[in-house]
């Protein structure tokens, strides 16, 4: 993938004036309304007439809706975010008919992400100031990091989270994303719960357990919320308090994962990880909270796109590869390996730390792929139609054992 054309979204928090907050809140509501009306029209046309409605037809519907007395308020906000909502709906149906996604769902006022996308015709970015259509004054953006030199945003997305915080995301081409110098280092990465990751070098990264640190405050806030009358202002305030605690936990977790994955990608040319079935693992109610807090899926996602950006090789080892039960010294396979066995001794006399041994086996499997390409499963293409840089190792034999997390 040509790194000179990598597009990155730079997200910043901003503090709108009461007038700006009112305009933006109404914009979010109009975007949600138009999306839901267009989805209902498309669903009805298919159910009754077996007819597929196109983007151009929904755009014409929007023009007609704005001329009615009932929906005249749609004229009070910028039309660009509403048009973009129709384009997003078109993309959702395209993915559905291509069997890449489920049928589009209606947007909920309380549960769906509240966002509005502006194209270049609906915003102005000059001298470090961002002004959106209908907002009159520039937004009070907290520029926590500089944009790439000479970067011109192609789109700007405004969003408000459940905690009431406002964010602006600016999509720019980042010429600074270039392949890093080639290294001769490689690492196996074993994900766990006591240690978030264990490296084949023997290093263990402690799991910060961000959710556990705020668990008491979260429980108290949730109890307070449960006591409030539904529909009351006090319940809305209590809901916001709960959302703020969740947001603080998520922010800390994301920050930690970004620092960890950036370090691993910068220090190693080849990274080998295991293909964990997190969706199945969280069905274990005794471990679901801990697994969710570890956020292994987000860890893998960050490793994938950062490896692609910086010219690293990410090898994904099949979930049935017996990394824990395989002796990294002699290659023999243990018959059983209960989850509580943190160390074990092989018949050859080698005593293993369970996680370090697994990481070493993942590294060996990854190096075998990079050396000869044996046992590599073809990878899906990225949304842009280009192949991902990660590879996947398939073991010669699969054992139908229940997927269990390594703690």
Annotated catalytic residues are: 190, 274, 355
How far is the C-alpha of 184 from the C-alpha of 82, rounded, in Å? Answer: 50
Are the beta carbons of 329 and 351 closer than 8 angstroms? no
Beta strand 7-14 pairing with 114-119:
unpaired
How far is the C-alpha of 87 from the C-alpha of 81, rounded, in Å? Answer: 10
How far is the C-alpha of 137 from the C-alpha of 147, rounded, in Å? Answer: 21
Are the beta carbons of 122 and 132 closer than 8 angstroms? yes
Q: How far is CA 353 from CA 204, 334, 339, 357, 360, in A?
A: 11, 14, 13, 6, 11
Query: Is 98 buried (19+), middle (13-18) or exposed (0-12) by CB count in 10 A?
Result: exposed
C-alpha neighbours within 13 Å on the C-beta side of residue 371: 8
């Amino acid at each position: 993938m040509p790194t000179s054309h990598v597009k990155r979204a730079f997200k910043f928090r901003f503090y709108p004036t009461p007038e700006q907050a009112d305009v933006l809140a109404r914009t979010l509501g109009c975007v949600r309304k138009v999306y839901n009306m267009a989805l209902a029209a498309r669903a009805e046309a298919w159910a009754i007439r077996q007819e597929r409605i196109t983007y151009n037809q929904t755009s014409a519907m929007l023009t007609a809706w704005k001329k009615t007395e009932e929906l005249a308020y749609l004229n009070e906000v910028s039309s660009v975010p509403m048009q973009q909502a129709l384009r997003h709906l078109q993309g959702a149906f395209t993915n559905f008919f291509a069997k890449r996604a489920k049928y589009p769902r209606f947007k909920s006022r309380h549960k769906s992400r509240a966002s509005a996308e502006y194209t270049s015709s609906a915003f102005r970015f000059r001298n470090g100031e961002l002004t959106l259509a209908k907002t009159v004054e520039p937004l009070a953006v907290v520029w926590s990091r500089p944009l790439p030199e000479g970067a011109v945003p192609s789109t700007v997305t405004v969003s408000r989270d459940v905690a009431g915080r406002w964010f602006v995301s600016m999509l720019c081409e980042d010429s600074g994303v270039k392949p890093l110098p080639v290294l001769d280092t490689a690492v196996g990465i074993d994900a766990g719960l006591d240690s978030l990751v264990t490296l084949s070098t023997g290093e263990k990264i402690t799991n910060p357990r961000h959710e556990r640190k705020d668990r008491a405050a979260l429980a108290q806030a949730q109890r307070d919320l449960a006591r409030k009358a539904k529909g009351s202002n006090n319940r809305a305030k209590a809901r916001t308090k709960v959302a703020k605690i969740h947001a603080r936990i998520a922010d800390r977790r994301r920050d930690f994962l970004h620092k960890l994955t950036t370090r691993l990608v910068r220090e190693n040319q080849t990274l080998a990880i295991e293909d964990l079935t997190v969706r199945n693992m969280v069905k274990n109610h005794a471990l679901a909270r801990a697994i969710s807090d570890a956020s292994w899926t987000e860890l893998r996602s960050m490793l994938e796109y950062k490896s692609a950006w910086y010219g690293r090789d990410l090898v994904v080892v099949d979930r049935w590869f017996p990394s824990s039960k395989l002796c990294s010294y002699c290659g023999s396979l243990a018959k059983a390996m209960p989850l509580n066995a943190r160390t074990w001794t092989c018949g050859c006399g080698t005593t293993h730390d369970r996680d370090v041994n697994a990481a070493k086996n993942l590294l060996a499997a990854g190096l075998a792929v990079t050396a000869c390409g044996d046992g590599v499963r073809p990878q899906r293409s990225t949304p842009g139609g280009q192949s991902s840089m990660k590879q996947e190792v398939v073991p010669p034999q699969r054992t139908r054992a229940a997927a269990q997390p390594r703690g």
